[in-house]
Amino acid sequence: MMDYRVVLDYTQALTDGLLLTVHISLLAFSFSFLLAVPLASARLSPYRILRFVSAAYIEIIRNTPFLLQLFVLYFALPAAGIALTSYQAGLVALSVNGAGYLAEIFRAGLASVPTGQREASWVLGMGGWTRFTTITFPFALRSVYPAMSNQFLLTMLASSLLSAIALPELTGSAMEINAMTFRSVEVFTVVTAMYLALSLSITLVLRKLAQRLFRERNSAISTDAFRIENAVTVGGRA
Residue 88, judged by CB atoms within 10 A of its CB (0-12, 13-18, 19+), counts as middle
Give the torsion sign (CA, 125, 126, 127, 132). negative
DSSP 8-state assignment for residue 10: T
- Residue by residue, pLDDT tens for the chain (238 residues) are 788 888 999 999 999 999 999 999 999 999 999 999 999 989 988 899 999 999 999 999 999 999 999 999 999 999 999 999 999 999 999 999 999 999 999 998 888 776 666 666 666 666 666 677 677 777 888 889 999 999 999 999 999 999 999 999 999 999 999 999 999 999 999 999 999 999 999 999 999 999 888 876 554 444 444 444 443 343 444 3
Instruction: Kindly report the pTM of this predicted structure.
Output: 0.84
CA distance 162 to 164: 5
CA distances from 201 to 82, 129, 158, 208 (A): 37, 35, 17, 11
Please report the domains of the chain, with CATH numbers, ordered by start residue: 18-237 (1.10.3720.10)
- Rounded to the nearest 10 degrees, what angle do helices 170-181 and 11-43 cross at? 150
Find the helix or strand (DSSP H, E) in which 37 lies.
Answer: helix 11-43
pLDDT digits (tens, 9 = 90+) for 60-103: 999 999 999 999 999 999 999 999 999 999 999 999 999 999 99
CA distance 27 to 91: 8
CA distance 62 to 41: 18
